[in-house]
């Protein structure tokens, strides 16, 4: 069901070729087909679009949706990924086979990277997470309708190819990561050269492997080379091979990575550190599809898809003459930029849970949960080393933990220090399992001074004083998000006061139980829950 502006913000995509001149509005000649097994969703979309000059069609299953699409030829289809026992991705696949130009927006409450990549691979225009942000959902619907109009004016749009299902290794549900998943799904089936950029430790090789595993070269080799780890005098030989006697130490002929990887994918990590002389040969491969071994001028044809990655600003390197400008343009056909961890803090709980599960596979007796104050410290840290630093932090904490719970004291001092200062004298919260839906916790938790005598009835003035204390703290700590922090703390405290009884806690808070349960899910509040 469509709710207010509380859900994830759908990522905007560029308008199709001719849509830029077309106002983003509905067209009276256009129709929208809603495919979902929940009647509330159909009702909500009708209410959302009732004032628009559109024909709204409905189907409550994938099979019915296919029949409707075959009969009515809707301009836009909005479809749920999960409909009872049916998989919306299978329906999407059939819809695209029926009409490669069909514009489809997928809806899901499960924003996994696998779902995002697969939907975009199969040709979805976009996908959105439930609950929706209404204004942005309408914008997306009108953009999709504009794309449908534009598509009728041009010959074809390239269809997306199918591939093997990817084993999920990229973790994160933040809007920034959802955009990365979409881009992977779009570029993976092609043979386009890809440039992956991002700070060290953000997971560039994982993205390269995801592109490979979702591409048409899946059954061919994938070879990764770190250009910064191989000495300059050996890198050329490593990539292109050499003939016997071509240089001192060349005791036998050697086949290079390009020949080994023929038909497959070569991942050139840290390409910004590649010497200029080697850059020239890489440019030749991209332009001509040919290589020459060191010590041999004979050209060898090779069919290799190149995915390159760097943590450097390549354009700045071009300006300083440290990187070839022509190679930069050859590599920068499609760029996938990975955001640093400090810009996707909502992913910290799910990443922490992922690493705890990962290390428990090797050490099943290790901790299975993390204390709330420890998770808060993790969320407050800036993570200059990004995901790699977080992984090392969790591994260290699991080694040092003496019980079933990772405590604040198990974290490195630079991470735990700031959080301790805000918690001195406060009671230790119950341990919780990290939740992917939990919002970032503020850098510090303000003390809640007790100004009431036992048994006294609080007045409006008492409440005002407590609120003023929070606002004063927020003025001093710009990263402190006042409303969500206060709301979450009230819910945690109410559940603690009622020993986890949600009916009593809801009564104490003055809200319904249904509202309380939604807030518990929103903030990832669980008194005690195993991660695995």
DSSP per-residue letters across 336-361: EEPPPGGG-GGGHHHHHHHHHHHHHH
pLDDT tens-digit profile of 74-121?
Answer: 999 999 988 877 788 899 999 988 988 789 999 887 766 677 778 888
Give the fold, CATH level 3, of 343-523.
Helicase, Ruva Protein; domain 3 (1.10.8)
The pTM assigned to this predicted structure is 0.61
**Tens-digit pLDDT profile for residues 473-513:** 666 665 666 777 778 878 877 877 776 777 788 888 888 87
Identify which of 411, 382, 381 has the alpha carbon closest to the alpha carbon of residue 399. 411
User: From its phi and psi, is residue 506 left (phi > 0), alpha (psi between -120 and 50) or beta?
Assistant: alpha
Euclidean distance between CA atoms 532 and 447, whole angstroms: 33
**End-to-end C-alpha distance for the chain, whole angstroms:** 30
pLDDT per position as a tens digit, 210-255:
999 899 898 888 989 999 988 887 898 889 988 887 777 777 777 7
| Residue 169: pLDDT band with limits 50, 70, 90 | low
Rounded distance, CA 436 to CA 357, Å? 14
* Full strand arrangement of the beta sheet holding 103-108: 55-59, 31-35, 76-80, 103-108, 126-129
To which CATH superfamily is domain 190-339 assigned?
P-loop containing nucleotide triphosphate hydrolases (3.40.50.300)
Question: What pLDDT score was predicted for residue 344?
Answer: 92
Identify whether the C-beta of residue 383 lies closer than 8 Å to the C-beta of residue 407. Answer: no
Q: How far apart are CA 214 and CA 118, in angstroms?
A: 8
Cα dihedral value 503, 505, 508, 512, nearest 10: -50
Length of the chain: 532
Strands (E), 275-344: 290-291, 300-301, 305-310, 334-337
Distance of CA 228 to the CA centre of its chain: 27
Please tell me the predicted confidence (pLDDT) of residue 316: 93
Tokens for 82? 């999960």
Domain-wise residue ranges, the chain: 19-151, 190-339, 343-523
Say whether pLDDT at 27 is over 80: no
Determine the Cα–Cα distance for residues 405 and 368; give it in Å rounded to an integer. 6
343-523 and 190-339 share a CATH fold: no
d(CA 25, CA 40): 25
DSSP state of 311: S
Can you name the CATH fold of 19-151?
A: Rossmann fold (3.40.50)
Residue for token pair 């206060």 = 486
């Amino acid at each position: 069901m469509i709710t207010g502006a509380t859900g994830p913000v759908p990522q905007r995509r560029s308008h199709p070729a001719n849509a830029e001149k077309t106002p983003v509005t509905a067209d009276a000649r256009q129709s929208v087909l809603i495919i979902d097994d929940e009647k509330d969703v159909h009702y909500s979309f009708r209410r959302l679009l009732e004032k628009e000059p559109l024909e709204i069609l409905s189907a409550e299953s994938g099979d019915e949706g296919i029949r409707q699409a075959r009969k009515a030829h809707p301009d836009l289809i909005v479809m749920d990924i999960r409909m009872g026992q049916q998989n919306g991705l299978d329906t999407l696949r059939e819809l695209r086979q029926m009409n490669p130009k069909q514009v489809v927006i997928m809806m899901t409450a499960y924003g996994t990277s696998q779902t995002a990549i697969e939907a975009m691979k199969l040709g979805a225009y976009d996908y959105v997470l439930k609950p929706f942000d209404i204004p942005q959902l309408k914008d997306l619907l009108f953009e999709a309708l504009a794309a449908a109009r534009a598509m009728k004016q041009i010959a074809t749009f390239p269809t997306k190819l199918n591939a093997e299902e990817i084993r999920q290794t990229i973790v994160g549900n933040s809007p920034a990561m959802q955009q990365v998943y979409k881009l992977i799904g779009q570029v993976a089936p092609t043979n386009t050269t890809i440039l992956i950029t991002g700070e060290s430790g953000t997971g560039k090789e994982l993205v390269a492997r995801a592109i490979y595993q979702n591409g048409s070269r899946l059954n061919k080799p994938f070879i990764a080379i770190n250009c910064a780890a191989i000495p300059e005098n050996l890198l050329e030989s490593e990539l292109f091979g050499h003939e016997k006697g071509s240089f001192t130490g060349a005791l036998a002929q050697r086949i290079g990575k390009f020949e080994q990887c023929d038909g497959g994918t070569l991942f050139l990590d840290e390409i910004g550190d590649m010497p200029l002389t080697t850059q020239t040969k890489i440019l030749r491969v991209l332009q001509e599809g040919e290589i020459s071994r060191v010590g041999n001028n004979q050209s060898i044809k090779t069919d290799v898809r190149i995915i390159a990655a760097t943590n450097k600003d390549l354009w700045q390197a071009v300006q300083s003459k440290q990187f070839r400008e022509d190679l930069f343009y050859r590599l920068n056909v499609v760029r996938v930029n990975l955001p640093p961890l400090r810009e996707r803090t909502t992913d910290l709980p799910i990443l922490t849970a992922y690493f705890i599960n990962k290390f428990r596979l090797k050490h099943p007796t290790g901790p299975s949960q993390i204390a709330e104050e420890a998770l808060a410290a993790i969320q407050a840290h800036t993570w200059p080393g990004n995901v790699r630093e977080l992984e090392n932090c969790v591994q260290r904490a699991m080694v040092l933990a003496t019980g079933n719970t990772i405590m604040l004291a198990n974290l490195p001092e630079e991470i735990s220090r700031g959080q301790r200062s805000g918690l001195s004298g406060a009671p230790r919260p119950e341990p919780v399992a990290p939740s992917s839906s939990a919002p970032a916790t503020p850098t510090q938790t303000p003390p809640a001074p007790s100004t009431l005598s036992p048994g006294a009835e609080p007045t409006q003035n008492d409440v005002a004083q407590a609120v003023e204390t929070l606002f004063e703290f927020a003025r001093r700590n710009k990263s402190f998000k006042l409303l969500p922090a206060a709301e979450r703390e009230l819910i945690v405290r109410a559940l603690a006061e009622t020993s986890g009884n949600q009916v009593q806690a809801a009564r104490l808070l003055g809200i319904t139980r249904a509202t309380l349960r939604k807030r518990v899910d929103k903030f990832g509040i669980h008194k005690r829950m195993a991660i695995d």
